[in-house]
Amino acid sequence: MSTLNIAILPGDGIGPEVMQEALKVMETLSALDSSFQFNTEELPWNSDYFLTHGQMMPDDGLDRLKKFDAILFGAIGDSRVPDETTIWELIMPIRKQFQQYINFRPIKKLNGISSPLKEEYDIDFVVIRENAEGEYSNSGGRLYAGAPQEVAIQNTIMTRQGIQKISEFAFQYAQKNNRKKVTSATKSNAIIHSMKLWDEVTKEVASAFPLIRFEQNYIDALAAYFVMRPQSFDVVIASNLFGDILTDLGAALVGGLGIAPSANLNPEKEYPSMFEPIHGSAPDIAGKNIANPIAQIWSVALLLEFHDRKDLANIVLQSIQQVLIKREALTPDLGGKGTTADVGNAIVQALQEF
């Protein structure tokens, strides 16, 4: 593999704290395996940057980012800046401009993590969420603001092409990774236009993959199945809104926000993809050195897997797994007394012992 050029966007709050540990892990990997080489450039685009410059990133920010192979993102959010600004002026432009139309989230219960569910299920599936259109389009508006007759309209945008691309990605992923079943989250009994199109197109794509089982579940029932039989899922595809909710539920089943990673993928690799923990900037614990860096480190594993280094991704995951089983260095969210750096260092040590 040639040298990977990675843009580092630590962001706000605990973002820089957990990013530091992720960088340690990447440096360790590179020292252990000379075929893994990378360059990083840290970009200081966060809420402080906004307060100083009046924008979340410079005018040529996207042009600069475009030159990288990947973006490793920490977390964004600060009470001094509206969420709308941090999200719609930084995260959304990156996702949309770089056509990161897949949001990929593994929901895997690692040993050493206790689930809030009563039974110890073997939970190991992925949710593939549509990331570019759907319910989170900014199409709509308000009329008669503040008046009794005020109206708000929020449009859902579903396109045949968009649904087709995410469905094909899901089935190809299933095929490549020996997954047996794809489950589609729908609500076409009540949302009779956009979700009907979703159902039609997902089914059409499914027919080209006869060896993979396909099922369509209404989102309300599916949420219950996540809790009642989470071991029964392999690959779940969902629209932007449904996927957003399902993945937080999924993350809660397997250890919570401190663990869960995600990837915003441009599968064609025409643009950089972005890898980030699903948690936010966690202002309540920022600066205390107790943030769990595992979600950020697992995001590095997703980055490696996407860039054809599944071997290294597996080693990172196994090292995380070892640290969780040993329970010697865990942050308070997992019941430990360790610091962010303790967990990072323990994962580095586990890597070195491989």
- Residue 291 · residue 21 · CB < 8 Å: no
Radius of gyration, CA atoms only, the chain: 20
Which residue number places its CB atom closest to ligand ATP? 280
* DSSP letters for 36-96: --EEEEE---SHHHHHHHSSSS-TTHHHHHHTSSEEEEEE--BTTB-HHHHIIIIIHHHHH
Q: Among the candidate windows 147-155, 181-189, 191-199, 291-299, which touches ligand ATP by CB under 6 A?
A: 291-299
Q: Within 10 A of 110 (CB to CB), how many other CB atoms are there? A: 20
Nearest distance from residue 308's CB to ligand ATP, in Å? Answer: 28
**From residue 65 to residue 84, what is the string marking binding to ligand ATP with x (rule CB under 6 A)?**
------------x-------
Q: Which is nearer to ligand ATP, 236 or 286 (CB)?
A: 286
**CB neighbourhood size of 198 (10 A):** 29
Q: Pick the stretch among 52-60, 65-73, 123-131, 284-292 that binds ligand ATP (CB under 6 A).
A: 284-292
Size of site (CB under 6 A) for ligand ATP: 16
Within positions 305 to 344, which residues make up the interface with ligand ATP, using CB under 6 A? Answer: 331, 333
Which segments of the chain does DSSP mark as H helices, in order?
Answer: 15-32, 47-53, 61-66, 83-86, 92-97, 160-176, 194-207, 219-228, 240-253, 294-306, 310-326, 340-352
Q: Is 47 in the site for ligand ATP (CB under 6 A)?
A: no
| Residue 92 is a binding residue for ligand ATP (CB under 6 A) | no
Site membership for ligand ATP, residue 17 (CB under 6 A): no
Binding of ligand ATP by 183 (CB under 6 A): no
291: contact with ligand ATP by CB under 6 A: yes
Nearest distance in Å: CB 17, ligand ATP: 9
Q: How far is the CB of 279 from ligand ATP (least distance, A)?
A: 3
Of the pair 166, 295, the CB lying nearest ligand ATP is at 295
Give exposure, 130-166, as e/b (b: 16+ Cβ within 10 Å): bbbbbbbeeeeeeeeeeeeeeeeeeebebeeebbebb
**Of 130, 45, 100, residue with least CA distance to 274:** 100
Report if residue 284 touches ligand ATP, rule: CB under 6 A: yes
Q: According to CB under 6 A, which one of 282, 302, 303, 315 is a site residue for ligand ATP?
A: 282
| Distance from C-alpha of 92 to C-alpha of 242, rounded to nearest angstrom | 18
CB of 276 to ligand ATP, least distance (A): 11
Among residues 258, 255, 250, 302, which one has the least CA distance to residue 278?
258
Which of 105, 179, 279, 307 touches ligand ATP (CB under 6 A)? 279
Determine which residue in the list 65, 285, 297, 348 makes contact with ligand ATP, applying CB under 6 A. 285
Our finding on whether 292 is near ligand ATP (CB under 6 A) is yes
CA distance 44 to 60: 14
Structure tokens at 175: 């095929």
Subset of residues 232 to 261 that bind ligand ATP, contact rule: CB under 6 A: 257-258
Q: Which is nearer to ligand ATP, 194 or 331 (CB)?
A: 331
For the beta carbon of residue 63, count every other beta carbon within 10 angstroms: 10
Q: Which residues contribute to the site for ligand ATP (CB under 6 A)?
A: 14, 18, 77, 257-258, 279-282, 284-285, 291-292, 295, 331, 333
